[in-house]
Structure 1
Amino acid sequence: MAYFRARSKFFPDAFFGIASFLLIFSLGFSTAYLNIPKNQKDHFINQDIEKNRQTILLASISEELKPTAFSQKFILETENLIFGKENLKVKGKILLNLKADSSNISVLKPGMQVLVPWIPEEIKPPLNPFQFSYRDYMNRLQVERQINTDMSKIGIRSTEENNLQSYSWKLRERLISDLKEHEFGKDELAVFQALILGQRREISNDLYKNYAAAGAIHILAISGLHIGILLFILNFLLGGLNRFKYGRLIRVILLIALLWSFAILTGLSPSVVRAVSMFSFIAVGLQIKRKTSVMNSLFLSLFILLLINPYYLFQIGFQLSYLAVFSIIVFQPLIYGLFKPNLKVINYLWQLSSVSIAAQIGVIPLSLYYFHQFPGLFLISNLVILPFLGIILAIGIIVIILASVNLLPAFLTKSFDFILSLQNQFIEHIAGIESMIFSNTDISLAQTLSIYLILLGLLFIIRKVTYTRVCFVLVGIFVFQASTFYYQRTIPVNEAIIFHRSTKSVIGTKRNENLNIYSNEDSKNTFLKEYIRERNIQNTKFKEVPEIIDLSNKLTLIVDTIRNYNLKNFHPEILILRNSPKVNLERLINKFSPEQVVADGSNYYYLVKLWRETAKYKKIPFHYTGEKGAYFITKD
């Protein structure tokens, strides 16, 4: 109605704009509200099921995740909860963890219906501060609970694979199996699978870290970069169709069909589906041959994907893909316009450089926020790899096709293996220049958003300098400074912390920018490095664990052996139990009357359970780091 009203008016008013805004806002709000698991009546977390009842879950495997050393992981789409003769229809995603030593795990694949014992558990948060939270990561994928079991307790209800995703997954696994019959190196085959087929489970940690340090990690995950290069190649190859009647329409249809065929080849993983969806819209915009059409296509794809699943907005890959493409569209012409070489080779390299620089402008703030490091040699890595990435993709697809029909010649196998080997060696060399890797950089969310405000303001000023736009940039700078000041103020001056470390004791005391670590080991573990970065620690010292210590003005007794603590006029406020001392905790509580009892990760669990019951009986707060995480003590 508002649209037809606006068309009939000679001087349009604000009614149509307001109506459009309200419509989009209502759509977005409704979609977001309905996608929250707690707001879905038939979601399994909203069902009241007695825990003592023997319940079986009927679910479909929707995705296989990268395995760990301890477990194989799958995401299940729940369908029914079966208890006795009753059957309750449910929905929602759940994480299935199968023990790594379970037999026949390889028989499970997406599309299968399985029967699983219904023993849902909360996904545990990290036990030490500032560590990566797998629970938050899973929640962003709408996975609310997990089931830990082994293969012997799994029943396969149906192996039928009638949907497109299961067919796509099966096709990818068959192609990988065909490739393994040829003489590829281990690392080369792992990169091949990641680069072309989107399967990263065989990439070693060292190889992954090298690509990350060299600023080329995006090569190992099929994303907007791969799909963009593929779209560029296909758009060039199909350019001749524009000379025919309806050629542009046929070209768009073929482009979209070929992009989705590639997505099927890679197993239709969520990241690939998102990237192909985005570039399907961009493919349409390219045929209109207007920059605004490409930008409109980008935002239209963003709007539609968020309507389908608002949780995409919180996924790192989604954010990085859209920011990189947006930045390339906006900044690349400006950067390329700064220098126009006459030689074709130099011009080509400068085009690639301008694309890489433009993409980095968009993703650097977010990369620093999430990953806390910036590869200083990213431009060199991309300048060497990007010119050949399209060729590698094309040759890789040919190799896969020939291998699938058993016609792959040995010389092509060796040649492609050599190319991938050179790429890995180059990445390893770049990653080895540690002085150019700016790590342990920490910025807050407010700082990240303010940097984007400044970049947006600078973009406006480049196009046209006005008083309002200069003020916009100055406001962005002020917000950045204010958020930096606030972030620094939130860091406590003095703090003590009892970390969780399995079979070990690690106690830290922070004073200003100095950190003392009391432990029997003198290495900076991952959780210590993260704490040092977040708390802006400049100096770290390792010391032996004492018997008595002052933790942020809290007198603390550390009990690690059986002995008589005949200490007169000694009243510790905190009692720390370590190394499984077989002490009479009730007697210690009666003697010292502590305010808090803490057991760290060095203790046997059966003793922890006994101590917990004793503390509960004596009405003393008890904290076990293996369940509640690290214990903080801040100065009053």
Structure 2
Amino acid sequence: MRLVNYTAFKITLIFILGILFSHFSGISESTLFKGLIFSAILLILVWIRARYQLFQDVLFGLATYGVLFVLGAWLYEYKQPVNHNSHYSHSQVLTKPFLELKIKSQLKPDLYHEKYIATINAIDRKQATGDFLLLVIKDSVIDSYNVDEVLLVKTTIEEVPEVKNPYQFDYGDYLKQLGIYHQLKISSSEVLKQTRGTITLRGIAASLRNQINAQLKENGFSGNSLTLINALLLGQRRDLSPEIYADFAAAGAVHILAVSGLHVGIVMLFFQFMFKPVERFRYGKTIKVILVVLFLWGFALIAGLSPSVLRAVLMFSFLTYAMETTRETSTFNTMLASAFVLLVIDPNILFHIGFQMSYLAVFSIIWINPLLQKYYRPRFFIDRKIWETITVTTSAQIGVAVLSIYYFNHFPGLFFITNIVILPFLGIVLGSGIMMIIGSQFTSIPKLIVDGYSNLLDYKISFIKWVARQDSFYFEGLSLSIPEVIFIYLLIIAFILVFQRRTYLRIVFFLVSVVFLQTVFIFKTYQTSSQELVIFQKSRFSIFGVKNGTQLLVQTNLDSTEVFNERLLERYITKSNISQVSTDSIYNSFQYKNLRFLVIDSLGIYPTTALGTDVVVLRNSPRIHLERMLDSIQPGRIIADGSNYTSYVNRWRETCHQRKLPFHHTGKEGAVIFD
């Protein structure tokens, strides 16, 4: 497969490069729009010139690619909600404005809040647009709000909390990819008015899912079986326990829990089988295509219209049409066409993990799977299906493994065993599940069938748990940087090209890829050997980390067994390539490089001989007269970690502000790093 021969590949690649350019350059939407107009005029002039040429040159192609590049860049900026004049961020608002909100979708709750994405209709009675993360404090007044309900609240618009520690997952950045820049935190008692809003497709889908769940419960489905039906068929993982999710991740089967291309492909085959008899009628094939596509989009609606479902349904809609109209088509072109359409609709989707991994998996299956199948052709049906499952799974993992390690820092070694056992039965599970859902809406399902299907799902969970318990085959604590990811993929591509056919240029490309990757590894080794001191943010506790190459000394008041369970330290250890960790109590004073540190704890005791201390760290809310301490020690900087009372911190901050002394609170500004 020669990618450069595919026009769809060139168009999509140039468009993606334009999106990336806009994302990282930060050029304004108005400037990019002017550039788009200029490039379009240039393309027209080049086209007119080309009409009078006997032999065409590359100028027209370059002008076309230029328009695609600028179009991708402009669309990215244009699609950012904050760039629209009607966005709430452009309004002059009070400290606590009146907000009219409409519930758009319901998210997985945490221990303290029900979570929603809410669209704003008006702010202080003026029309506005934009989405918020809505956090509703859990209480006994109301269980939850429904999609399409309209709430009138009076509350403060808050910034989404920023990352407080190095290498921590940036939830705020993730929300920005969804067009959400602020959050609202309310209790149900602060809802001044609650009404039913205009019905939307999402609202219809949510109501339908609630109805399906109610009927399934009446028919005896409960516990893990009901949870899996919701995850596998309805795209809802709100009730999925962390333990089950962790087991699926460790077994390399987490992709089964998210409705994506795998599920939609199986559902497409199911609908094609169901509507096969329609082909006997006049225009039967056309009617069948229409029915299959309509039912696929109906499935997408029920599954919540998530990005993963939309991209999969769009792709398989293209594929259904191509397959049934007997036209020659390329699965690769179909995949790229669906990707291009999705990127035009929402350029931000390019930065979604699901989008990246889904298309990498499909691309790898299309390219690598035929190569693997050439080297062994089973004679019998059973071993042929097993071999097909192995090659497809291996191809997909080659595509996504590197990206998976970059994002999640682990790799399931037994993924092929999981998929050999699970994938052949997934079609049965999904097909039977669809029949269960349809049957539950019209009649009562016999208890024998309900128990049988529930047992099938339980056996599936039990097998996943068994695989997940094979710890020696589960590799965690892995870390890759962005340059490593890029050059590893280049090396994989070069290796496959050489594997296909050995030519001089391909061998040179492979060797150059090896050299570049080695260079990146050497640079990473140099970075790993660096030193730094980190004062982490941890509520009610103090954690200092002194990194020296691959060794980390953790000074903390946490119990030594709790240190290694700390998520913030786990991420830091993994991303910093730490191989040895030791713990100690917090020193009252120490020196790091040329900086002298003084730590004042709850006792409030400090030596008067510490004159000229560079940094004073306040922890555990010491009751000290700060001004007297500043006069006595004359430090160059004050740091308060997360173990201090907020009232104390505010008072210290004001004092330092009056004295024009740098003050840093890890609870607000995040961890402090000295390198």
Normalising TM by the smaller chain, what interval? over 0.9
Q: Does the Cα contact within 8 Å between 1:596 and 1:622 map onto a contact in 2?
A: yes
2:567 corresponding residue in structure 1 = 526
Counterpart CA distance in 2 for 1:212 and 1:455 is 24
**Relative to structure 1, is the Cα distance of residues 103 and 420 closer, same or farther in structure 2, using a 3 angstrom cutoff?**
same
Please tell me whether residue 37 in structure 1 is matched to residue 73 in structure 2.
Answer: no
**Relative to structure 1, is the Cα distance of residues 588 and 160 closer, same or farther in structure 2, using a 3 angstrom cutoff?**
closer
Please tell me whether residue 547 in structure 1 is matched to residue 585 in structure 2.
Answer: no
Counterpart CA distance in 2 for 1:479 and 1:343 is 44
Q: Does the Cα contact within 8 Å between 2:131 and 2:180 map onto a contact in 1?
A: yes
Q: Does the Cα contact within 8 Å between 1:102 and 1:152 map onto a contact in 2?
A: no
1:58 corresponding residue in structure 2 = 100
Q: Does the Cα contact within 8 Å between 2:422 and 2:460 map onto a contact in 1?
A: yes
1:387 corresponding residue in structure 2 = 424
Deviation at 1:328, TM superposition (A): 1.2
Q: Which amino acid aligns with 1:192?
A: I
Q: Which amino acid aligns with 1:281?
A: F
Q: Does the residue aligned with 2:638 lie in a helix, a strand or coil?
A: strand
Deviation at 1:60, TM superposition (A): 2.3
**Relative to structure 1, is the Cα distance of residues 289 and 19 closer, same or farther in structure 2, using a 3 angstrom cutoff?**
farther
Determine what percentage of the aligned residue pairs are the same residue: 36
Q: Does the residue aligned with 1:42 lie in a helix, a strand or coil?
A: coil
Q: Does the Cα contact within 8 Å between 2:604 and 2:623 map onto a contact in 1?
A: no
Which of 111, 117, 123 aligns to 2:154? It is 117
Moved more, 167-176 or 281-290: 281-290
1:632 corresponding residue in structure 2 = 673
Q: Does the Cα contact within 8 Å between 1:105 and 1:151 map onto a contact in 2?
A: no
Counterpart CA distance in 1 for 2:647 and 2:490 is 54
Which of 572, 577, 585 aligns to 1:536? It is 577
Counterpart CA distance in 2 for 1:37 and 1:592 is 50
Q: How does 1:68-83 map to 2 (within 5 A)?
A: 68-83=110-125
Q: How does 1:44-443 map to 2 (within 5 A)?
A: 44-47=88-91, 49-52=92-95, 55-83=97-125, 87=126, 89-101=127-139, 103-106=141-144, 108-117=145-154, 119-156=156-193, 158-236=195-273, 238=275, 246-287=283-324, 292-443=329-480
Counterpart CA distance in 2 for 1:206 and 1:575 is 42
1:445 corresponding residue in structure 2 = 482
**Relative to structure 1, is the Cα distance of residues 444 and 160 closer, same or farther in structure 2, using a 3 angstrom cutoff?**
same
Q: Does the Cα contact within 8 Å between 1:494 and 1:552 map onto a contact in 2?
A: no
Q: Does the Cα contact within 8 Å between 1:366 and 1:448 map onto a contact in 2?
A: yes
Deviation at 1:247, TM superposition (A): 4.4
1:452-480 CA distance string (max 9 Å, x none): 22233334334433322223333333332
Q: Does the Cα contact within 8 Å between 1:169 and 1:268 map onto a contact in 2?
A: no
2:18 corresponding residue in structure 1 = none
Q: Which amino acid aligns with 1:327?
A: S
**Relative to structure 1, is the Cα distance of residues 531 and 217 closer, same or farther in structure 2, using a 3 angstrom cutoff?**
same
Which of 44, 62, 65 aligns to 1:18? It is 62
Counterpart CA distance in 2 for 1:492 and 1:114 is 54
Q: What TM-score do you get using the length of structure 1 for normalisation? A: 0.93
Alignment RMSD (CA, Å)? 2.4
Deviation at 1:340, TM superposition (A): 0.6
Please tell me whether residue 593 in structure 1 is matched to residue 593 in structure 2.
Answer: no
**Relative to structure 1, is the Cα distance of residues 563 and 202 closer, same or farther in structure 2, using a 3 angstrom cutoff?**
closer
Q: Does the Cα contact within 8 Å between 1:557 and 1:576 map onto a contact in 2?
A: yes
1:153-186 CA distance string (max 9 Å, x none): 2245541453222111110111112222344452
Q: What TM-score do you get using the length of structure 2 for normalisation? A: 0.88
Q: Does the residue aligned with 2:330 lie in a helix, a strand or coil?
A: helix
1:130-152 CA distance string (max 9 Å, x none): 11111011011111111111122
1:279-319 CA distance string (max 9 Å, x none): 21222333466785221111111111100110010111111
Moved more, 231-240 or 412-421: 231-240
Q: Does the residue aligned with 2:182 lie in a helix, a strand or coil?
A: strand
Counterpart CA distance in 2 for 1:245 and 1:13 is 49
Counterpart CA distance in 2 for 1:289 and 1:381 is 35
1:523-560 CA distance string (max 9 Å, x none): 21011111111111111111112212223442211111
Please tell me whether residue 608 in structure 1 is matched to residue 649 in structure 2.
Answer: yes
**Relative to structure 1, is the Cα distance of residues 102 and 43 closer, same or farther in structure 2, using a 3 angstrom cutoff?**
farther
Q: Which amino acid aligns with 1:533?
A: T
Q: Does the residue aligned with 2:664 lie in a helix, a strand or coil?
A: strand
Q: Does the Cα contact within 8 Å between 2:311 and 2:339 map onto a contact in 1?
A: no
Number of residue equivalences = 627
Deviation at 1:571, TM superposition (A): 3.5
Q: Which amino acid aligns with 1:448?
A: V
Counterpart CA distance in 1 for 2:417 and 2:106 is 34
Q: Does the residue aligned with 1:598 lie in a helix, a strand or coil?
A: strand
Deviation at 1:344, TM superposition (A): 0.8
**Relative to structure 1, is the Cα distance of residues 456 and 249 closer, same or farther in structure 2, using a 3 angstrom cutoff?**
farther
Deviation at 1:570, TM superposition (A): 4.9
1:201-235 CA distance string (max 9 Å, x none): 11111111111010000111111111122223334
Q: Does the Cα contact within 8 Å between 1:184 and 1:413 map onto a contact in 2?
A: yes
